[in-house]
Amino acid sequence: MALHLYNTATRSKELFTLPEGQSAVRLYCCGPTVYHFAHIGNLRTYIFEDSLRRVLEYYGYAVNHVVNITDVGHLTSDGDDGDDKMEKGAARTGKSVWEVADFYTEAFMKDWKALNIIEPSIWCKATDHIQEQIALVQKLEEKGYTYRTSDGIYFDSAKFPRYPDFAHLDVENLQQGSRVDMGEKRTVTDFALWKFSPENQKRAMEWDSPWGIGFPGWHIECSAMAMHHLGSTLDIHCGGSDHVRVHHTNEIAQSECATGKPFSRFWLHGEFLRMGSDKMSKSAGEFLTVSLLMEKGFNPLDYRLFALTSHYRNYLNFTWEALESAREGFKNLHKKTDALIGKAGKIESERAQQWQNKFKEAIGDDLNMPKALGILNGVLKDDLADCEKAALVLDFDLVLGLCLDHPRKDYASKKDVVDASKVEELISLRATARASKNWAESDRLRDELKLMNVTIKDGPEGTTWST
């Protein structure tokens, strides 16, 4: 069984292997710009990257996983003008840019934890790697790939003939149809490596450099940090599909011009989550966050399951109905797995091994998680021994990350936690009513419990309840 991944660079599925003698996968994922909360569309991409990491590990690879935190330099326009996102966030919240960065970084990590996304081996902040970025720009300057304008040092994309190849760009037409203000740029695809601070204004974040006081361009941070932590060639570089044209194309240009080596062997891109016909966008004002989902009574893992029901390279339409469907499905899944997990034995029978192989094949086929979920359901329906079923569930959950090794209650949000003594009291009242065949009162009490999100179950041993 081999692992195949769809590589944006070649637009085809390719066999993934590690170069000879290399012990760990060098994985770099473009992380968040911490000027605002992450919305669930952003998070879909990180769930996809988490699946990738888990699949790599399931296939026996060690993974050196690096995720960046962009806390400087990302302007509100990729055309290298507009405001700095961080300064904008600071203005909006009345905090300093550094406070904004810390606040949203923490919020972001909380979301990761809630969604059971495995932490990267290394989190790296752009502001902690200013010297690496300056050094990279210097190297490009030495090799003659840069030029200076009144507002910064720019990359001269015309000197990198392969520039349009990655994203299949038609530069001439881009030039014609461009909505980007050219400023002093020579070619529409040129981009800022280092921006000068405005003369009349002190920026909250600025550093000294060989070219004067200023701050790094957005694209340079990823190249600098990726190469600093993982070396000049990566095995896999990930991000959202929107990064293909500008961000990753620029990363390739600046990195490969600096080192003369391929920047990444594989490029994987996650497709957008959509709301109705709109994509979810931070600049559009309102957007959905994990905490909003929780306020509406969802468990963050309901969303994780929802994300896993579609393939990462396809658009996924978000509707509340679809999320509810995922929540119901998740409850039903837990009913089955909760009854099994204590019984886990070994995967021994040929039949169980076949299931395991099917699962491995599905996830190895460019991370086909929807198919993998189907296989999980197949196992639960099959007439295997419980100890083997349980073992398979736990094995699959290594990749699915749905916390199936814990009963559902263990990760219920605080909101779901109910007053147990009150519940017991109502149940005993109901028992009295039932004993005297007062069904109306009995049903009323059940409805009352239902309002508290408590489900009761009458059995031979008396009444039990759950949330």
Partner RNA sequence: GGCGACGUACCCAAGUUGGUAAGGGACGGCUCUGCAAAAGCCCUAUUCCUCGGUUCGAGUCCGAGCGUUGCCUCCA
Residues touching RNA, count (CB under 7 A): 87
Nearer to RNA, 335 or 415 (CB): 335
Nearer to RNA, 137 or 244 (CB): 244
CB of 432: closest distance to RNA in angstroms?
Answer: 12
407 binds RNA (CB under 7 A): no
Q: List binders of RNA among 359-378 (CB under 7 A).
A: 361, 365, 368, 370-371, 373-374, 377-378
Binding mask of the shown chain, residues 263 to 292, with x at each position contacting RNA by CB under 7 A:
-------xxxxx--xxxxxxx---------
CB of 336: closest distance to RNA in angstroms?
Answer: 6
53 binds RNA (CB under 7 A): no
DSSP summary character for residue 453: T
CB of 79: closest distance to RNA in angstroms?
Answer: 5
What is the Cα–Cα distance from 316 to 320, expressed in whole angstroms? 13
Tokens of 389: 């079923």
User: By CB neighbour count within 10 A (0-12 exposed, 13-18 middle, 19+ buried), where does 270 fall?
Assistant: buried
183 binds RNA (CB under 7 A): no
Nearer to RNA, 196 or 287 (CB): 287
Give the residue, chosen from 26, 53, 54, 85, that forms a contact with RNA under the rule CB under 7 A: 85
What is the Cα–Cα distance from 238 to 214, expressed in whole angstroms? 28
Bridging pattern class, strands 234-240 and 264-270: parallel
User: By CB neighbour count within 10 A (0-12 exposed, 13-18 middle, 19+ buried), where does 358 fall?
Assistant: middle
Nearer to RNA, 75 or 347 (CB): 75
Coil, helix or strand at residue 253: helix
Closest C-alpha among 121, 1, 13 to residue 60 = 1
Give the residue, chosen from 321, 350, 410, 461, that forms a contact with RNA under the rule CB under 7 A: 321
CB of 295: closest distance to RNA in angstroms?
Answer: 20
443 binds RNA (CB under 7 A): yes
Stretch that binds RNA, among 51-59, 109-117, 302-310, 344-352 (CB under 7 A): 302-310
Stretch that binds RNA, among 114-122, 145-153, 234-242, 400-408 (CB under 7 A): 234-242
Bridging pattern class, strands 214-216 and 62-69: unpaired
Nearer to RNA, 35 or 145 (CB): 35
CA atoms within 13 A on the CB side of 54: 23
Nearer to RNA, 61 or 272 (CB): 272
Coil, helix or strand at residue 1: coil
Binding mask of the shown chain, residues 105 to 144, with x at each position contacting RNA by CB under 7 A:
----------------------------------------
What is the Cα–Cα distance from 159 to 187, expressed in whole angstroms? 10
Q: List binders of RNA among 331-360 (CB under 7 A).
A: 332, 335-336
Helix (H) or strand (E) holding 440: helix 439-451
CB of 438: closest distance to RNA in angstroms?
Answer: 9
Q: Are 159 and 145 in contact (CB under 8 A)?
A: yes
Nearer to RNA, 411 or 465 (CB): 465
309 binds RNA (CB under 7 A): yes
Helix (H) or strand (E) holding 390: helix 386-400
Nearer to RNA, 176 or 201 (CB): 176
CB of 17: closest distance to RNA in angstroms?
Answer: 18
Nearer to RNA, 199 or 286 (CB): 286
DSSP summary character for residue 119: P
Number of H helices, E strands in the chain: 15, 16
Q: How far is CA 463 from CA 335, 338, 425, 427, 444, in A?
A: 18, 19, 12, 7, 16
Closest C-alpha among 148, 133, 151, 296 to residue 220 = 133
Q: List binders of RNA among 22-41 (CB under 7 A).
A: 30, 32-33, 38-39, 41
